[in-house]
Structure 1
Amino acid sequence: MRGESATATAGLLLAVLFLCTLVACAWWAARTHQRAQEATRATEIESVGALLTAMSESLLATGETGTLRRLVADAALRHKFARCRLVLPDGSVAAAESASQITLASLPEQWSDMTGPLPPPVMPPDCTLHSFPVSVPGRGTARLDLIVPTRSLGWSSLDTLAGVGIIGAVALLALLLVYRYLRHRIRALTFIGEALLALDAGEKDVAALTVQEALGPEAAAWNELLAERAGFQQVLVTKRLLELPAARDERSRDLTSMCDAMPQGLVLVDGNLHITYANGAAALYLGSARDGILGGDIAACLKHAEVLDSVKSVASGTLRRSSSAEISQTQGDTTTVLRFTVRPVRHDDESAAMLVIEDVTQQRLADDSRNTFVAKVTHELRTPLTNILLYAETAMDDSAQAPTRTQALNVINQEAKRLDRIVNDMLSVSELEAGAHDLRLDDLSLATLFEELQLDYEAAAQEKNLKLSFDLPPKLPTITADRDKVTLAIHNLLGNALKYTPAGGTITVAVVADDRQLEVRVTDSGIGIAPNDAEKVFEKFYRAQDERLADITGSGLGLALAREVIRLHGGDIALESELDRGSTFTLTVPVMARARAA
């Protein structure tokens, strides 16, 4: 079997790996032991050489030659030196490991120092030379030569190798016994593993997945598990067959619930024009009770001939494409626009029609608002553009005089600024409505703000012969607000007051500030606003229906923008006006917690 073959191969590889590891360990142990011996021997040689050198210098100085020779012979015997000699500068041997090697019977009182290296002694094979200088004060210098045999792998290393080999053999035998035992134990698991691979490959036959129970308790447990699995699958199939109708009913209920939750009306009509299904929204759009229209004729509840003809064509199979129509319905003061879409449906080889009803009233209102916006923008931009083009031609005319050109350039400059204000106002209003305008809150000094306003508008008021007065308290606080937006709102209110107040009129700016809110009242004696226009003047592009406004330029965006920026601060702008008597715009802004006295 493939599993047993893999197990045998794994066991053989494990044995080879073990033997290789054992041989490597033995070699490393012997090598380490030999290096330790060599290091110990080197230390021993250095110590003996240093000791013999010191004693030789002392004995030579006192003339104890016999003691020196015995000391050298004893050191050579005890430390197993091949040669141990004391050599004078002339090459004579004063002391050696044996008396036969001594060439100098007695030492002279003095001898010359070594002026150069002596020729090396004759070296026995497999030996190393260690030389030590000897200096005898008053007599001369000499050299101590130690010739040491190189040690090969000693018996202690062989003992180490033999021990490692014995341990390895025992361990290999134990490994073999363990392998045979484990192979017997996992044999059943091997067959079970092959059965699992076959099961994963798609084998479903229980007989092909069964293993011999003689292999052990694992095999018996596996066979029992297969039998339980087969029984469980049979029970599961039976249960699914029994639950199939209930699941189909549940899915049908879920689909019905989802269709009922749709905001669009959904109606299914068969080939006989009978309503087979209608959700709640469809019953509401058709103005009938849901239970009352199910099973009935579609013509009884659908009163629009164009849509009814499309349903008949699609349900009969003569029309195989979708069609749609928008119908306006008016009930009292409310007009609703419904879009009817008819689509073909195939069911059991029979033609049917699906009618989808959508309320598109808000979409149409949005389209109308967009068209109105475009028309008003076009109208507002056309006047300054026309003036710019006209006066540009005048300025470029070669026959025009200098004053005429200067006047033309002034008009072009004024109209360009007017055009820039209109575009900026439109962008600001659009950003505010889209929520893209964020407040940049900071300390706003009201005293500085109204001082700048007074300087900005005094000249314009005097030019138009208007009396402009500011009613300010002795101290104005510093509030937390967006300086640019609050300034823009007050500028628009004050600018409108100057624009719509005839010559000789009055404009008053009254300010009241406490720890709760800031109130700015801009009162004028201008033309006033009719009651039916009082709230509409805050809409974009709206201008009051007053003939006197025909010659007064304006974009219709100033008040809309002013109210929006003040509402961003949590405040509002209110209007009190009487036609032909003037108007009062009241701006209120809550004072935030960071406000402090100026």
Structure 2
Amino acid sequence: MSDQSIDTRPSPASRPGRRWLQRGESTIATMSLSLAVILVATLLACGVWMMQTQRQTLSQARESQVTATADLLADACEALLSQGELTAARRMIMDASATHRLERARIVLPNGTVVADADAGRINLESLPEQWSHEDVVNFDQPTTAQSVGLLVVERPMQVGTQGVARLEIIAELNADTWLGTSSWEAQAGVGVIGAGGMLALLLTYRRFRGRLQAVGVIREALLAMGKGERAEAALAVADGLGDEAVAWNELLAERKQLREAAKVRTVQEALTGDLGGGDLAQACDAVSQGLLLVDDHQRIRYTNHAASVFLQVGREQMHGKAVRDVVQIDELTELIEQTANGQVRRKVTREIERDENDNVGVLRISVHPVRGSHGATAMVVLEDVTQQRVAEQSSRQFVAQATHELRTPLTNIRLYMETLIEDGEQVEPQTRAKCLNVINQETFRLERLVGDMLSVAEIEAGSMQIQQDDVRIDTLLNAIEAEYKPSADEKQIAISFKIPPKLPIVQGDRDKLSMALHNLVGNAIKYTPEGGRVNVSVVAEEEKLGVEVTDSGMGIAPEDQLRIFDRFYRAKDKRIAGITGSGLGLALAREVARLHGGDIDVDSQIDQGSTFTLTLPAREDAATATE
């Protein structure tokens, strides 16, 4: 063989001088160099693209943040100024300027007088005048947004009651370099370090295996010759002295004809039509969670895996070789298998079947695949239990529907009362205007609480909910809740009472989250108490512990529901609450907040006799506050 092999020795002319690239290495060297160039170009492009994208994204996010801040700030200050709360409006301007890093934030009148400014030294008006006009100032009552030299200028008009129009002016910096800081350059440096490391690793790898690449290059030349039509083994063989790769190549050539005959499609046909009862393939099929059935054109079961036996509740030995109708008790499945095996169905067909097993309803997904072979038509059946997927999808749909309804109600009320104010204009009576503004304010707080609940659920699922430690006066929170829920209780003719001791210990925790928990408990009590009922809220102070009990005379909660009412999105199965809206989040959030504070919530309820929810929190023994 060596006499007819390709001569791989260097020519006499090349022996005196050492070649940098060995024979057969030039192709691989070129490929390695190309990979290095592509790697460097890719890293450079990624670095430039990352910086540009980050700068553009931050600028857009900054513009959206400033615009949204201006809109919210204009609405809030307009309401405060209409109510004569000038100090609160000024404080809100200062807080917003500090929080969002605004270059300028102020409220001005048409004559240029500064009503409120983030810099208190620029304010030149102590109190609002009773009336003013803006007719001499063009476009003073029009909202504008403009950019100039890296700055964003946002102006929003505000209708201050019947006194006149004021304008909120905000200027914020949009220069992305200010926001990028050193993080972008650190990222660029990281890309450079990674690129240098990759180049070094590529070079070391190439040098490590350089001596073994000659055989690969020579074998490549043999393959090119084969591609041009050369079939003689003697012409394609290489010298054995090039290494193990050359020896293996020569052996491969010697056995090529035998291997080509052995590697026919027969192996694939045997896998489809032969006995699959044992071997690695059968073990692999048993390891999958889906059930598998192979049925021949006579509707006899050729193979089943373990999962199919479990789903169909029939032993594998009882199914093998038997007719489908004799062992499968699902009529829809047997019909699909017969139609597919007979060739009537030529495409994949999927069905979902509900089954009632041991008083539990499950959903079984059945997919029937036609398989065509030389021995006639066969059908491959895939069985999958999708019960949990359907339960999750149903819970998600119910939550979306309930949340949509919860959001629609306050939005509808806000829209109706706003239309009343807009349509009647100056002719609205003071009592009607006050009522409209009060309803809008209440519904806004309701929306805020609902959105806050949803955000809190997201924090809980992400495991990122945290509490801010501060001194909290529970009596103050309960007084605010009493003022908010008294009108709705009176509307339903529900007697609501708050029994708060004159002195209460101070609770260390997050005021907003504790307020949310108490709102949910009191709001649920009023919601699920019928007309003419009663709701009692009482506070019990013990050593190092404070308890808030919310008792109602409502419909009560069944024992089986009491175990799950604190689960997210769960609502009791009582048919009487079907017409009462709710998201199923309130109690879950309330208990989560209580436990984050080191406390808990317990429930004691009986059907048609009412419920008592007790919120327990740790309190400071050495501090107390008097109820005002």
TM-score (norm 1): 0.53
Structure 1 residues 74-110: Cα deviation after superposition (integer angstroms, max 9, x where no partner): xxxxxxxxxxxxxxxxxxxxxxxxxxxxxxxxxxxxx
Task: Tell me how far 1:546 sits from its aligned partner.
Answer: 9.1
1:419 to 2:451 alignment: no
Instruction: Pick the aligned partner of 2:322 from 296, 306, 314.
Output: 296
1:507 to 2:537 alignment: yes
- Report the 3-state secondary structure (helix = DSSP H, G, I; strand = E; otherwise coil) of the residue aligned with 2:361: strand
* CA distance, structure 2, for counterparts of residue 362 and residue 196 of structure 1: 54
Task: Tell me how far 1:526 sits from its aligned partner.
Answer: 4.2
Instruction: Pick the aligned partner of 1:587 from 615, 619, 624.
Output: 615
Corresponding residue of 1:529: 556
Instruction: Pick the aligned partner of 1:561 from 576, 585, 589.
Output: 589
Task: Tell me how far 1:360 sits from its aligned partner.
Answer: 1.4
Task: Tell me how far 1:358 sits from its aligned partner.
Answer: 1.1
Give the conservation status (yes or no) of the 8 Å contact 2:297–2:378.
Answer: yes
Task: State the one-letter code of the partner of 1:275.
Answer: I
Unaligned runs of 5+ in 2: 1-8, 20-212, 226-232, 624-628
List aligned pairs for 1:566-577, cutoff 5 A. 566-567=594-595, 572-577=600-605
Task: Tell me how far 1:234 sits from its aligned partner.
Answer: 11
Corresponding residue of 2:12: 4
Corresponding residue of 2:477: 453
Corresponding residue of 1:353: 379
* CA distance, structure 1, for counterparts of residue 361 and residue 539 of structure 2: 45
1:493 to 2:555 alignment: no
1:363 to 2:389 alignment: yes
Judged with a 3 Å threshold, the aligned counterparts in structure 2 of structure 1 residues 470 and 272 are, in CA distance, closer, same or farther, namely same
List aligned pairs for 1:261-410, cutoff 5 A. 261-398=287-424, 401-410=429-438
Judged with a 3 Å threshold, the aligned counterparts in structure 2 of structure 1 residues 531 and 576 are, in CA distance, closer, same or farther, namely same
Judged with a 3 Å threshold, the aligned counterparts in structure 2 of structure 1 residues 419 and 239 are, in CA distance, closer, same or farther, namely same
Judged with a 3 Å threshold, the aligned counterparts in structure 2 of structure 1 residues 414 and 353 are, in CA distance, closer, same or farther, namely same
CA-based RMSD: 5.1
Structure 1 residues 266-305: Cα deviation after superposition (integer angstroms, max 9, x where no partner): 0000111111110011111112101110111111122333
Judged with a 3 Å threshold, the aligned counterparts in structure 2 of structure 1 residues 576 and 401 are, in CA distance, closer, same or farther, namely same
- Report the 3-state secondary structure (helix = DSSP H, G, I; strand = E; otherwise coil) of the residue aligned with 2:465: coil
Structure 1 residues 414-444: Cα deviation after superposition (integer angstroms, max 9, x where no partner): 2333233233323433x156x2351335534
* CA distance, structure 2, for counterparts of residue 371 and residue 226 of structure 1: 62
* CA distance, structure 2, for counterparts of residue 512 and residue 238 of structure 1: 93
* CA distance, structure 2, for counterparts of residue 390 and residue 227 of structure 1: 87
Instruction: Pick the aligned partner of 1:469 from 495, 499, 510.
Output: 499
Task: State the one-letter code of the partner of 2:361.
Answer: T
Unaligned runs of 5+ in 1: 12-192, 211-220
Task: State the one-letter code of the partner of 2:394.
Answer: D
Task: State the one-letter code of the partner of 1:542.
Answer: R
Structure 1 residues 487-513: Cα deviation after superposition (integer angstroms, max 9, x where no partner): 432443355557778788642112446
Structure 1 residues 343-383: Cα deviation after superposition (integer angstroms, max 9, x where no partner): 11123352110011111112222232233223323433343
Give the conservation status (yes or no) of the 8 Å contact 2:467–2:510.
Answer: yes
**Which range moves more in the overlay, 406-415 or 562-571?**
562-571
* CA distance, structure 1, for counterparts of residue 463 and residue 287 of structure 2: 36
Give the conservation status (yes or no) of the 8 Å contact 1:327–1:339.
Answer: yes
Task: Tell me how far 1:253 sits from its aligned partner.
Answer: 1.9
Judged with a 3 Å threshold, the aligned counterparts in structure 2 of structure 1 residues 268 and 568 are, in CA distance, closer, same or farther, namely farther
* CA distance, structure 2, for counterparts of residue 428 and residue 260 of structure 1: 43
* CA distance, structure 2, for counterparts of residue 311 and residue 584 of structure 1: 57
Task: State the one-letter code of the partner of 1:5.
Answer: A
- Report the 3-state secondary structure (helix = DSSP H, G, I; strand = E; otherwise coil) of the residue aligned with 2:614: strand
Task: State the one-letter code of the partner of 1:293.
Answer: M
Structure 1 residues 563-597: Cα deviation after superposition (integer angstroms, max 9, x where no partner): 23335567542101346765432335689xxx997
* CA distance, structure 1, for counterparts of residue 217 and residue 512 of structure 2: 76
Give the conservation status (yes or no) of the 8 Å contact 2:237–2:250.
Answer: no
Percent identity over paired residues = 35
- Report the 3-state secondary structure (helix = DSSP H, G, I; strand = E; otherwise coil) of the residue aligned with 2:466: coil
Give the conservation status (yes or no) of the 8 Å contact 1:529–1:544.
Answer: no
Task: State the one-letter code of the partner of 1:286.
Answer: L
* CA distance, structure 2, for counterparts of residue 531 and residue 272 of structure 1: 55
Task: Tell me how far 1:559 sits from its aligned partner.
Answer: 1.8
Corresponding residue of 1:178: none
* CA distance, structure 2, for counterparts of residue 226 and residue 500 of structure 1: 81
Judged with a 3 Å threshold, the aligned counterparts in structure 2 of structure 1 residues 451 and 267 are, in CA distance, closer, same or farther, namely same
Judged with a 3 Å threshold, the aligned counterparts in structure 2 of structure 1 residues 580 and 280 are, in CA distance, closer, same or farther, namely closer
**Which range moves more in the overlay, 311-320 or 570-579?**
570-579
* CA distance, structure 2, for counterparts of residue 334 and residue 491 of structure 1: 37
Structure 1 residues 6-43: Cα deviation after superposition (integer angstroms, max 9, x where no partner): 235679xxxxxxxxxxxxxxxxxxxxxxxxxxxxxxxx
Task: State the one-letter code of the partner of 1:560.
Answer: A
Give the conservation status (yes or no) of the 8 Å contact 1:511–1:520.
Answer: yes
Task: Tell me how far 1:543 sits from its aligned partner.
Answer: 6.9
Corresponding residue of 2:83: none
* CA distance, structure 2, for counterparts of residue 311 and residue 378 of structure 1: 43
Task: Tell me how far 1:255 sits from its aligned partner.
Answer: 1.7
- Report the 3-state secondary structure (helix = DSSP H, G, I; strand = E; otherwise coil) of the residue aligned with 1:342: strand
Give the conservation status (yes or no) of the 8 Å contact 1:273–1:297.
Answer: yes
Structure 1 residues 396-430: Cα deviation after superposition (integer angstroms, max 9, x where no partner): 3436544334323332332333233233323433x
List aligned pairs for 1:119-138, cutoff 5 A. none
* CA distance, structure 2, for counterparts of residue 227 and residue 460 of structure 1: 88
- Report the 3-state secondary structure (helix = DSSP H, G, I; strand = E; otherwise coil) of the residue aligned with 1:367: helix
Corresponding residue of 1:542: 571
Judged with a 3 Å threshold, the aligned counterparts in structure 2 of structure 1 residues 569 and 330 are, in CA distance, closer, same or farther, namely farther
Question: How many residue pairs end up in the alignment?
Answer: 393
* CA distance, structure 2, for counterparts of residue 519 and residue 235 of structure 1: 89
Judged with a 3 Å threshold, the aligned counterparts in structure 2 of structure 1 residues 394 and 562 are, in CA distance, closer, same or farther, namely same
* CA distance, structure 1, for counterparts of residue 431 and residue 378 of structure 2: 81
Give the conservation status (yes or no) of the 8 Å contact 2:418–2:436.
Answer: yes
Give the conservation status (yes or no) of the 8 Å contact 1:477–1:597.
Answer: no
Task: Tell me how far 1:458 sits from its aligned partner.
Answer: 6.0
Q: Relative contact order: is structure 1 or structure 2 higher (C-alpha 8 Å, sep ≥ 6)?
A: 2
**Which range moves more in the overlay, 226-235 or 491-500?**
226-235
* CA distance, structure 1, for counterparts of residue 242 and residue 418 of structure 2: 102
Give the conservation status (yes or no) of the 8 Å contact 1:461–1:467.
Answer: no
Give the conservation status (yes or no) of the 8 Å contact 1:320–1:344.
Answer: yes
* CA distance, structure 2, for counterparts of residue 255 and residue 336 of structure 1: 30
* CA distance, structure 2, for counterparts of residue 583 and residue 437 of structure 1: 31
Judged with a 3 Å threshold, the aligned counterparts in structure 2 of structure 1 residues 199 and 582 are, in CA distance, closer, same or farther, namely closer
